[in-house]
Chains A and B, each alone.
Chain A
Amino acid sequence: MKTERASSPQVVGNTAVSRSEQVTLRRGPIDEMKHPDGAIRSHCAPLREWLQAVPPAQLDQKRKEADRLFRRLGITFAVYGEAAGSERLIPFDLIPRIIPAKEWQTLAAGLRQRVAALNAFLHDLYHGQEILKAGRLPAEMIFSNPQYRVEMQGIDLPGGIYVQIAGVDVVHTGEGEFHILEDNLRTPSGVSYMLVNRRIMKRLFPELFALHPVAPVEHYPELLIETLRAAAPEGTVDPSVVLLTPGPYNSAYFEHTFLAQQMGIEAVEAQDLFVRDNKVYMRTMEGPARVDVIYRRIDEDFLDPLAFRADSVLGVPGLLSVYRSGGVAIANAVGTGVADDKAIYAYVPEMIRFYLGQEPILKNVPTYSLRNPDDRSYVLAHLNELVVKEVHGSGGYGMLIGPASTVKERELFRQRILRNPENYIAQPTLALSTCPTFVEQGIAPRHIDLRPFVLSGRTIHLVPGGLTRVALRDGSLVVNSSQGGGTKDTWVLEE
């Protein structure tokens, strides 16, 4: 592989970016509702007809009603850096994003394949490391990675599963063509929006559900509790599952209590848990109650102040030692972050080949690794065409979007890259598909992505749908809610 890299300045990750691929990626975005020639896609025809018939005033009133419902449910979101107590809504767009059955089947198969490979990779990495021995992935990328948790080495997890819940970000880049953007294997959030958006759409527009065979997503909490119970330490009878939340000041707190309520389990904070005799208990009115599975919605650095961050007040002292000896299960497992950083990302197709002996169904975005001198010189010469991301960044922060950047911003990034090249990757800008969206001037196309949630228990489950995020600013490709993104209901059509 090293020789391959050296042979071409455009070799990225372990996949050469061919000229044709570059061209593909620079092609204009596809419109979810229309063919390139302007004709309406057949699966969108009923929605389009309805949209043209419904009076704008009525839609406006429905929009206000949706806002009221979101506020009433308390699905508000605290923005970092804003005054304490201020609560904002993530904008909700009334026009659904529709995925035809065929496209979803491909997507679902690709997602299952990908998450299966990622779980196999994590198991291998923390056991025999066959993939490193086979030279299919450079070992230094693992051992220099702070997300690699040496304390997980040799620990056996039930079913060998590390990632119970993955929230994989997918973008629709061409006819029937999807690219994976990120795997999100730590504490992916957003599934409550998938569920609540659907509930609100059904309430506001029951007539639309009569026109479309929309596949249900409402059983997600049941699949989730089944998945979490399957993660319990071997031999546990009727496992006790809790959701561990950082508390009411966390921006995803609504989701935490919502899921706990839907699953009928406790939403615990770290202060509710304690360790005794190598077991985990929660403090209840009836005395200590044993905990078998922790669905953690808290970063692993804050799980146990004894193991990770002594300055943390969030953790449960001693939790990690119970975990390592099999006294409690944590989902997702500790140490999954090593498989979802943006540099390792480039090797997921290789994982699929190595562990499953299959060709990847879904595409990776070609990724330049700036630790590699050839990639680096190419990227520095083409900053205005590329997206540069921090390897461990998230939430759309720490990112340079070349085509939308100023000379000054590019210079700033050039210096950052040169100072710490391992910290960055670069990718071609993707043509994220667009979907009709309500904006101030009426209805206009806006870029969207999709986050389906993949559950891995005894089998892999996936509800047909996910969270569609939409970049509300004209031309923007950033869909993150922290940066002005909104959400839409996602309709997977049944055949």
Chain B
Amino acid sequence: MLLRVADHLYWMGRYIERAENTARAVEAIYPAAPKGSLSTDREWEGLLALTGRRKDFLAKHGPPSPAKILRFVLFDLENPSSLLASLRAARENGRSVSATLSPEMWESLNALWLDLQEVDEGRLLSGGVLPFIDRFKEGAHLFRGVLHSTLAEEEVFRLIDLGTFLERADHIVRILRARHSSLLREGERETHYYSWVAILRSVGALGAYRRVYHDLISPGRVAELLILREEVPCSLHACLDRINDLLRPLAGGIGPEVVRLAADLHFLLHDGRIKEILRNALHEYLIDFTAALQRLGEEIDKGLRISTCA
């Protein structure tokens, strides 16, 4: 497989996952969280912080409001991490490898983009965006299904999945960082319960939590589930398991340094104890993890872009 094609496949996987993550993050707080002591405006601003584009938003739109934030994170094509912009980037990457994809794969991705880019965002913003998010999720699931039922080449899966799981890990760390303070308030159920739920919903892990613990939601377990429990697909541990497996056969193309970095990260999770992590400052742990993930991403980029063979 061409290195350039590998690069596009990997980024296609990342952007699709990024759009899905945005969809989940919006769903988690939409409609705004039930009344309580939570400030709903803070929820919305948390969504903004999550995308890492708070400064861009303020410069463009001034003081935030829920409607403005929704428009920004879902529809604004000038915001490179909005759902639509991510989908467009996935489609552009897909177009560049449409000779490698099955025609059905390319068509399902292209059709999803065509379908969603012509929605009437004004109507959605006043009437509710969940139908839009549902349409997107259905399309994204269809795309993944088509990928698995029409493709023969193992390498294509690997690269798309590599992008998917790296992006997912990045998203999980972002969510945990954005809400880490609530995770340290074990006794303050009244105040922080909905924040814990929002964390789980933002990564699609509420059901997984119930299946694993069969018990009340507690912040220590939320952290444990999302960081260390490898049996659920929405944990950092599970993501790094997959990334490790995916990278090993690709090492010849991407370079051995990448494999080493991923193995280090995996080792950290494999040997982690949640009590220690929480005792020794969760926030610092997450910051270090973010940096390590970023380094891994950069090494993958380097491996796929800078050719080692000429």
Q: Which residues of A contact B (CB under 8 A)?
A: 71-74, 243, 247-248, 253, 256-258, 260-261, 265-269, 271-272, 274, 276, 281-288
B3 A284 Cβ-Cβ under 8 A: yes
User: How many chain B residues touch A (Cβ–Cβ < 8 Å)?
Assistant: 28
Q: How far is the CB of A296 from chain B (nearest CB, A)?
A: 15
Q: Complex Cα distance A260/B98, Å?
A: 9
Q: Find chain B residues with CB under 8 A from A285 CB.
A: 1-3, 6, 155, 250, 252-254
| B interface residues with partner A (beta carbon < 8 Å) | 1-6, 92, 95-96, 98-101, 103, 106-107, 110-111, 114, 155, 250, 252-254, 307-310
Which residues from chain B contact A261 at a C-beta distance below 8 Å? Answer: 98-101, 103
CA distance A341 to B99 in the complex (A): 32
Whether A283 touches B98, Cβ cut-off 8 Å, given contacts A72-B107, A72-B110, A288-B310, is no
With a CB–CB cut-off of 8 A, which chain A residues contact B155? Answer: 285
Nearest residue (CB) in B for A69 is: B107
Given contacts A257-B99, A266-B99, A272-B4, contact A287 B252 (CB under 8 A): yes
**B118 vs chain A, min Cβ distance (A):** 10
CB contacts (< 8 Å) of A248 on chain B: these are 92, 95-96
| Cβ–Cβ contact B310 & A286, under 8 A | no
Pairwise interchain contact B114-A266, C-beta atoms closer than 8 A: no
What residues on B are CB-neighbors of A269 within 8 Å? 4
A306 to chain B, nearest CB (A): 16
Query: Which 9 pairs, one residue from A and one from B, show the smallest C-beta to C-beta distance?
Result: A285-B253, A260-B99, A267-B99, A257-B99, A274-B310, A257-B98, A283-B307, A261-B99, A288-B309
The reply to whether B99 and A283 form a contact with Cβ atoms under 8 Å apart is: no
A248-B92, A258-B98, A261-B103 given. 8 additional CB < 8 A pairs?
A72-B107, A257-B99, A260-B99, A265-B99, A266-B100, A285-B3, A286-B1, A286-B253
Q: In chain A, what residue has the closest Cβ to B107? A: A72
The chain B residue sitting closest to A267, CB to CB, is B99
Q: Are B3 and A283 in contact (CB under 8 A)?
A: yes
Chain A: minimal CB distance from B84 (Å):
13
Whether B5 and A266, one on each chain, are in contact in the complex, defined by CB atoms closer than 8 angstroms, is: yes
Give the complex CA separation of A261 and B24 in angstroms: 34
Task: Give chain A's interface secondary structure class.
Answer: mixed
Asked if B92 and A284 sit within 8 Å, CB to CB, the answer is no
Residue of A nearest to B96 (CB): A248
Across the interface, which residues of B come within 8 angstroms of A260, CB to CB? 99
B-side contacts of A258, CB under 8 Å: 98-99
In the bound complex, residues from chain B placing their C-beta under 8 Å from that of A284 are: 1-3, 253
Chain B residues near A253 (CB, 8 Å)? 95
Give CA–CA (A454, B84) in the complex, Å. Answer: 43
Give min CB distance, A7 to chain B, whole Å: 57
Say yes or no: A283-B106 contact (C-beta < 8 A), given A71-B114, A269-B4.
no
Collect the chain B residues with CB atoms within 8 Å of residue A257's CB.
95, 98-99
- Could you tell me if A73 and B3 are in contact, using CB atoms closer than 8 angstroms? no
CA distance A271 to B110 in the complex (A): 26
The CA of A269 and the CA of B8, in the complex, are separated in Å by 13
Within 8 Å CB of A274, what residues of B?
Answer: 307, 310
Closest partner residue, chain A, to B6 (CB atom): A285
Residue of A nearest to B249 (CB): A285
Within the complex, the shortest CB–CB distance from B293 to chain A, in Å, comes to 23
The residue from A72, A247, A266, A276 contacting B2, defined by CB atoms under 8 A apart: A266
Q: A272 — which chain B residues lie within 8 A by C-beta?
A: 2-4
Cβ contact within 8 Å between B1 and A74: no
Least CB distance, A209 to chain B, in whole angstroms: 21
- Within the assembled complex, what's the spacing in Å between the Cα atoms of A71 and B112? 11
* CB <8 Å contact, A287 and B309: yes
How far apart sit A256 and B100, CA to CA, in the bound complex (Å)?
Answer: 12
Complex Cα–Cα for A281 and B3 (A): 12
Contact sample, A vs B, 8 pairs, CB 8 Å cutoff: A248-B95, A284-B1, A284-B253, A285-B3, A285-B252, A285-B254, A286-B253, A288-B310
Q: Is B4 touching A74 in the complex (CB atoms < 8 A)?
A: no
Please report the C-alpha to C-alpha distance between residue A256 and residue B111 in the assembled complex, in whole angstroms.
20
Bound together, the chains give a CA A285 to CA B101 distance in angstroms of 17
In the bound complex, how far is the Cα of B103 from the Cα of A247, in angstroms?
Answer: 18
Closest to B5 in A: A266
> What chain B residues lie within 8 Å of A283 (beta carbons)?
2-4, 307, 309-310
- Residue picked from B4, B98, B99, most chain A C-beta under 10 Å: B99
Residues of A close to B99: CB separation below 8 A: 243, 256-258, 260-261, 265-267
A63 and B66 CA atoms in complex are apart in Å by 41
The CA of A268 and the CA of B253, in the complex, are separated in Å by 17
Partner of A286, one of B106, B111, B252: B252
